[in-house]
């Protein structure tokens, strides 16, 4: 029996990588200094896992930005528009970051590659771009370098590589007339070249991540899986290839998965424990099974009893030697180290495990399965039992309120067309009204105030005054440049979920529980451990203050229930739908309080609705039903004349447009610019009746858009959506941007809206 890890967090337990990357981007440290940081992180990770007793320690799970982008660089899938960056900068790293973030230097002005969610997680990857007959060639030595790096640290590592088929399926065809899977034949030689090199350097195990094996697959994809792994087997009869699946069960792809001529198959028994029996019955004799029993996506302590039952069942059926024990997926999605949490309530802390602790759990499970260390099992069972009965968790009133929600509680007074007229009367907005998504730059200064306030170096009043000044400046500035619907800027918020969680009962916070979201951006998801309720208003103070400063409308700004759920670590002792409705009721109360405080426009952000979709289509409607209902519970307790906005990022809505319409927000703002308004087509075809703000510029990079390009996008929008339904706004919030570029971009945006209006 062997233990292994599918991937370890790479940000460093104190976010060293984030800090180093950002310093490198702003020219404060050199490439060499950046590389030193990465070397320290990887070396620490390898040693930690090895010393804990993990048999197969992963390498190539590190990345400066994203592992999919790494792969694109490795196989030379570099879109033409970046070739000049390579020439001008003469640096692989700068080329890499240009692909990730865009490039505005040396007389070049190139947009970043598209980014999208990694399956149903809040991690984002850079989407590979594919062309007809595309040729690949080994471009970056990253995989080999990491394998050698691990060797130097005394670890013969297991390289983790995105499987060929999943890599292709993650990408996007950038021209017509071919299927990305056609490229498998061209890509395979590069994979073979890499494996040859790794084998020659002594690699024994290779992990290919093929998460697409848990998704709905067409015939062509299935054939490609067969083709690729047969070829690899032919070339490498001695390499131990492990194919890793995660985030759902194999289900109808089971026979395909077990037929691949590889050494081991990893399955996710946290997401889909039901699959174990079926898989065990189907596993052929020479295929080992890696049991993903420790939850890589959540922070709860493993229940050893449950895991051991799985492990024993597997051992009985296929024998000890054919069993591997592992977390369910890469620990990329877990925070690094629970030991750093010195402020957590000790009762709650005893229910948790982060990446480092999960590594120990994996090792412990092997020990226990071998009949050793029984006392560890008793300790574990005590912790599990204490969570089931703890008074911290259960609140009867909350449970009852959720049970008594009726359909009427989830419905506006009148349909949209009636509301639209009433809202127009009150709000009196122009054609192509401009607004922003909510946050304005969280400068180092703003963040330093919060840090000082937390440390006690600023008292509450001083902190409040500073925030008020910043808010007022922002309001004045928005007035000056002529934005129609203002926002207060969200300076008081650290993060759009954390801010609410901190004020709700049932949540707990970590000091250092960071998880990578995209590139250098990390989030610190709250932990929902108990029934959720709202002891006090959460945002009324700031919205009311901001509104008091101006004659223009200021949007109230809330995070929606599905997003709060989706971006938190959620309790696993009741259905997610139940927890979501509890949050929805808390938000509903907040919406009412805002309305009563005179706020006429209230935005309830739901950027995470789509990422919450189950990976298999058959499971969608069930999820969407409670997700949409939760949004409606949160948003419908207002008068017709109060305008409800919602906002979503990276959303491809084609297949769920009916559900988006069912949410019935008066205005929805969406990310659209990177797709050149393509994402609007779904709304157009559906004849979506409510108002829409398709983002007219990209906010993930510092690049300043021109007025002309935004006018161009608006023209595209009005070609498919009636003009009186269109709002003008950026793709998303501006908290990660600097003021300088924000000012220029929004001035140009207002000018673009004016120009678009002239046509009417
Ligand atoms: N209101 C949030 C902001 O502007 C929305 C962020 C998001 O959608 N991710 O930051
Ligand atoms: Zn957004």
Task: State which ligand 1 atom lies nearest to the alpha carbon of 733.
Answer: 4
- The Cβ of residue 314 has, within 10 Å, a number of other Cβ atoms equal to 27
- The Cβ of residue 36 has, within 10 Å, a number of other Cβ atoms equal to 13
- DSSP symbol at 114: P
Q: How far is Cα 327 from Cα 294, in angstroms, rounded to an integer?
A: 4
Q: What are the two backbone dihedrals, phi and then psi, of residue 8, each rounded to the nearest 5 degrees?
A: -120, 150
CA-proximal residue: ligand 1, atom 3 (nearest) = 733
Cα of 523 from ligand 1 centre, angstroms: 13
- On the question of pLDDT at 365 being above 80, the answer is yes
Residue 523 CB–ligand 1 contact under 6 Å: no
Task: Please state the separation of Cα 756 from the chain's center in Å.
Answer: 34
CA-proximal residue: ligand 1, atom 5 (nearest) = 733
**End-to-end alpha carbon distance in the chain:** 72
Q: Which of 394, 488, 700, 738 is catalytic?
A: 700
Residue 732 CB–ligand 1 contact under 6 Å: yes
- On the question of pLDDT at 199 being above 90, the answer is yes
Q: What's the mean pLDDT in 331-345? A: 97
Residue 356 CB–ligand 1 contact under 6 Å: no
Q: What percent of the chain has pLDDT over 90?
A: 94
Q: How far is Cα 86 from Cα 96, in angstroms, rounded to an integer?
A: 9
* 655 among annotated binding-site residues: no
Residue 735 CB–ligand 1 contact under 6 Å: yes
CB-CB contact of 560 with 604 (8 Å): yes
Neighbours of ion ligand 2 (CB under 5 A): 607, 649, 732
Q: How far is Cα 442 from Cα 435, in angstroms, rounded to an integer?
A: 18
Q: What's the mean pLDDT in 586-597? A: 98
* 617 among annotated binding-site residues: no
How many Cα atoms sit within 13 Å of 649 on the Cβ side? 20
- Take residue 431 and report the two structure tokens written for it: 């054609």
Q: Residue 418: pLDDT band by 50, 70, 90 thresholds?
A: very high
CA-proximal residue: ligand 1, atom 6 (nearest) = 733
Cα of 92 from ligand 1 centre, angstroms: 32
Residue 557 CB–ligand 1 contact under 6 Å: yes
Task: State which ligand 1 atom lies nearest to the alpha carbon of 649.
Answer: 8
- Take residue 509 and report the two structure tokens written for it: 């916070």
- On the question of pLDDT at 257 being above 80, the answer is yes
CB-CB contact of 289 with 265 (8 Å): yes
- pLDDT for position 652: 82
CB-CB contact of 125 with 176 (8 Å): no
Helix axes 620-635, 576-596, angle to 10 degrees: 20
Q: Tens digit of pLDDT for each residue in 536-579?
A: 999 999 999 999 999 999 999 999 999 999 999 999 999 999 99
* 438 among annotated binding-site residues: yes
Indicate the burial class of 156 (C-beta count within 10 angstroms; 0-12, 13-18, 19 or more): middle
Cα of 411 from ligand 1 centre, angstroms: 25
Q: What's the mean pLDDT in 310-324? A: 98
Cα of 564 from ligand 2 centre, angstroms: 14
Task: State which ligand 1 atom lies nearest to the alpha carbon of 436.
Answer: 4
* 647 among annotated binding-site residues: yes
How many Cα atoms sit within 13 Å of 258 on the Cβ side? 21
Sheet holding 527-533, edge to edge: 505-508, 527-533, 569-570
Count helices and strands (H / E) in the chain: 28, 25
Q: How far is Cα 496 from Cα 493, in angstroms, rounded to an integer?
A: 7
- Take residue 301 and report the two structure tokens written for it: 């302590």
Q: What's the mean pLDDT in 412-421? A: 98
Give the residue, out of 492, 604, 605, with the most ligand 1 atoms within 8 A of its beta carbon, to mutate for a pocket test.
605
**Ligand minimally distant from the alpha carbon of residue 559:** 1
Q: Tens digit of pLDDT for each residue in 629-676?
A: 999 999 999 999 999 999 998 768 889 999 999 999 999 999 999 889
Q: What's the mean pLDDT in 399-407? A: 95
How many Cα atoms sit within 13 Å of 693 on the Cβ side? 29
Q: How far is Cα 102 from Cα 431, in angstroms, rounded to an integer?
A: 32
- pLDDT for position 674: 85
- pLDDT for position 715: 97
Ordered alpha helix ranges (H), 570-650: 576-596, 620-635
- On the question of pLDDT at 297 being above 80, the answer is yes
Q: What percent of the chain has pLDDT over 70?
A: 100
Q: How far is Cα 611 from Cα 595, in angstroms, rounded to an integer?
A: 30
CB-CB contact of 612 with 570 (8 Å): no
The angle at the Cα of 463, spanning 459 to 464, to the nearest 5 degrees, equals 115
Residue 171 CB–ligand 1 contact under 6 Å: no
- The Cβ of residue 559 has, within 10 Å, a number of other Cβ atoms equal to 30
* 437 among annotated binding-site residues: yes
Closest CA to 234 of 208, 213, 262: 262
pLDDT, averaged across the chain: 96
Q: Tens digit of pLDDT for each residue in 693-731?
A: 999 999 988 899 999 999 999 999 999 999 999 999 999
Cα dist. 365→271, 371, 372, 592 in Å?
Answer: 19, 10, 9, 50
Q: How far is Cα 595 from Cα 638, in angstroms, rounded to an integer?
A: 7
Q: How far is Cα 108 from Cα 85, in angstroms, rounded to an integer?
A: 8
Q: Tens digit of pLDDT for each residue in 509-532?
A: 999 999 999 999 999 999 999 999
CA-proximal residue: ligand 1, atom 8 (nearest) = 607
Instruction: Please state whether 24 falls in left (phi above 0), alpha (psi between -120 and 50) or beta.
Output: alpha
Cα of 84 from ligand 1 centre, angstroms: 34
Task: Please state the separation of Cα 258 from the chain's center in Å.
Answer: 30
Give the residue, out of 499, 538, 732, 735, with the most ligand 1 atoms within 8 A of its beta carbon, to mutate for a pocket test.
732
Cα of 682 from ligand 2 centre, angstroms: 18
Residue 649 CB–ligand 1 contact under 6 Å: yes
Give the residue, out of 439, 542, 649, with the most ligand 1 atoms within 8 A of its beta carbon, to mutate for a pocket test.
439
Cα dist. 130→162, 172, 177, 220, 583 in Å?
Answer: 16, 6, 12, 17, 42
Any bridge partners for residue 648, and if so which? 670
- DSSP assignment string, 143-169: HHHHHHHHHHTT---EEEEE-HHHHHH
Q: What's the mean pLDDT in 490-516? A: 95
Any bridge partners for residue 265, and if so which? 243, 289
- On the question of pLDDT at 90 being above 90, the answer is no
* 122 among annotated binding-site residues: yes
- pLDDT for position 104: 87
Q: What are the two backbone dihedrals, phi and then psi, of residue 506, each rounded to the nearest 5 degrees?
A: 100, -5
Cα of 649 from ligand 1 centre, angstroms: 9
Cα of 309 from ligand 1 centre, angstroms: 43
Residue 605 CB–ligand 1 contact under 6 Å: yes
- pLDDT for position 248: 97
Q: How far is Cα 209 from Cα 166, in angstroms, rounded to an integer?
A: 7
CB-CB contact of 569 with 299 (8 Å): yes
124-126 and 115-117 beta bridge pairing: antiparallel
CA-proximal residue: ligand 1, atom 1 (nearest) = 438
* 605 among annotated binding-site residues: yes
- pLDDT for position 165: 98
CB-CB contact of 434 with 728 (8 Å): yes
- pLDDT for position 759: 85
- Helix, strand or coil, per DSSP, at residue 685: helix
Ordered alpha helix ranges (H), 153-274: 164-170, 184-200, 219-235, 254-259
Q: What's the mean pLDDT in 154-162? A: 98
- DSSP symbol at 703: P
Q: How far is Cα 506 from Cα 399, in angstroms, rounded to an integer?
A: 13
* 616 among annotated binding-site residues: no
Indicate the burial class of 565 (C-beta count within 10 angstroms; 0-12, 13-18, 19 or more): buried
- Helix, strand or coil, per DSSP, at residue 726: strand
CB-CB contact of 9 with 332 (8 Å): yes
2-3 and 323-327 beta bridge pairing: parallel
Q: Tens digit of pLDDT for each residue in 36-76?
A: 999 999 999 999 999 999 999 999 999 999 999 999 999 99
Q: Is 645 a catalytic residue?
A: no
């Amino acid at each position: 029996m062997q233990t292994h890890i599918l991937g370890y967090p790479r940000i460093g337990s104190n976010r060293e990588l984030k800090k180093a990357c950002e310093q490198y981007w702003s020219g404060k440290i050199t490439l060499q200094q950046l590389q030193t940081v990465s070397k320290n992180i990887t070396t620490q990770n390898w040693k930690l896992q090895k010393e804990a007793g993990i048999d197969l320690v992963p390498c190539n799970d590190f990345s400066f930005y994203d592992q999919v982008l790494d792969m694109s660089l490795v196989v030379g899938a570099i879109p033409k528009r970046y070739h000049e960056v390579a020439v001008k900068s003469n640096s692989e790293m700068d080329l890499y970051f240009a692909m990730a973030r865009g490039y505005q230097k040396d007389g070049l002005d190139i947009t970043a590659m598209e980014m999208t969610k990694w399956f149903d997680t809040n991690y984002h990857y850079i989407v590979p771009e594919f062309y007809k007959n595309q040729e690949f060639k080994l471009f970056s030595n990253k995989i080999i370098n990491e394998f050698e790096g691990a060797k130097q640290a005394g670890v013969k590592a297991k390289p983790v590589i995105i499987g060929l088929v999943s890599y292709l399926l993650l990408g996007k065809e950038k021209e017509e007339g071919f299927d990305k899977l056609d490229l498998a034949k061209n890509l395979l030689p590069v994979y073979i070249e890499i494996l040859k090199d790794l084998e020659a350097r002594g690699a024994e195990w290779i992990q290919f991540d093929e998460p697409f094996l848990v998704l709905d697959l067409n015939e062509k994809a299935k054939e490609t899986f067969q083709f690729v792994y047969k070829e690899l087997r032919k070339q490498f009869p001695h390499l131990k290839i492990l194919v890793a699946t995660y985030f759902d069960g194999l289900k109808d792809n089971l026979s395909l998965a077990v037929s691949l001529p590889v050494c081991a198959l990893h399955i996710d028994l946290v997401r889909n424990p039901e699959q174990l029996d079926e898989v065990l019955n189907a596993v052929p004799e020479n295929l080992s099974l890696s049991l993903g029993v420790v939850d890589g996506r959540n922070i709860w302590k493993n229940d050893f009893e449950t895991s051991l039952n799985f492990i024993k069942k597997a051992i009985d059926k296929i024998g000890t030697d054919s069993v591997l024990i592992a977390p369910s997926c890469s620990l990329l999605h877990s925070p690094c180290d629970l030991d750093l949490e010195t402020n957590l309530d000790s009762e709650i802390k005893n229910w948790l495990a982060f990446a480092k602790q999960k590594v120990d759990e994996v090792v412990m499970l092997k020990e226990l399965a071998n009949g050793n260390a029984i006392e560890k099992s008793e300790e574990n069972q005590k912790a599990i039992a204490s969570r089931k009965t703890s008074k911290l968790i259960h609140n009867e009133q909350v449970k009852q309120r959720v049970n008594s929600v009726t359909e009427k509680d989830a419905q506006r007074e009148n349909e949209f067309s009636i509301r639209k007229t009433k809202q127009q009367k009150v709000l009196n907005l122009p054609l192509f009204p401009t607004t922003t998504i909510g946050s304005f730059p969280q400068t180092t200064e703003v963040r330093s105030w919060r840090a000082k306030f937390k440390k006690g170096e600023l008292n509450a009043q001083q902190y409040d005054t500073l925030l008020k000044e910043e808010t007022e400046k922002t309001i004045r500035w928005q007035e000056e440049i002529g934005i129609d619907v203002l926002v207060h800027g969200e300076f008081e918020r650290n993060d759009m979920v954390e801010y609410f969680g901190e004020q709700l009962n049932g949540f707990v916070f970590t000091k250092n529980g960071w998880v990578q979201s995209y590139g250098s951006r990390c989030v610190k998801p709250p932990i929902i451990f108990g029934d959720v309720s709202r002891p006090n208003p959460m945002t009324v103070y700031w919205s009311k203050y901001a509104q008091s400063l101006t004659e223009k409308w200021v949007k109230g700004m809330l995070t929606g229930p599905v997003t709060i759920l989706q971006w938190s670590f959620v309790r696993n002792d009741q259905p997610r739908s139940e927890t979501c409705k509890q949050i929805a009721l808390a938000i509903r109360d907040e919406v009412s309080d805002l309305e009563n405080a005179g706020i006429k426009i209230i935005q309830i952000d739901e950027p995470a609705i789509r990422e919450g979709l189950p990976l298999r289509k058959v499971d969608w409607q069930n999820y969407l039903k409670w997700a949409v209902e939760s949004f409606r519970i949160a948003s419908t307790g207002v008068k017709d004349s109060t305008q409800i906005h919602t906002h979503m990022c990276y959303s491809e809505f084609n297949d769920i447009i009916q559900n988006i319409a069912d949410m019935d927000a008066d205005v929805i703002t969406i990310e659209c610019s990177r797709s050149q308004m393509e994402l609007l087509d779904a709304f157009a075809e559906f004849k979506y009746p409510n108002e829409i703000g398709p983002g007219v510029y990209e906010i993930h990079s510092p690049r300043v858009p021109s007025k002309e390009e935004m006018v161009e996008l608006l023209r595209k929008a009005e070609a498919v959506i009636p003009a009186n339904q269109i709002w003008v706004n950026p793709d998303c919030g501006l908290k990660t941007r600097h003021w300088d570029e924000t000012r220029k971009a929004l001035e140009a945006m207002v000018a673009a809206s004016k120009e678009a209006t002239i046509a009417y």
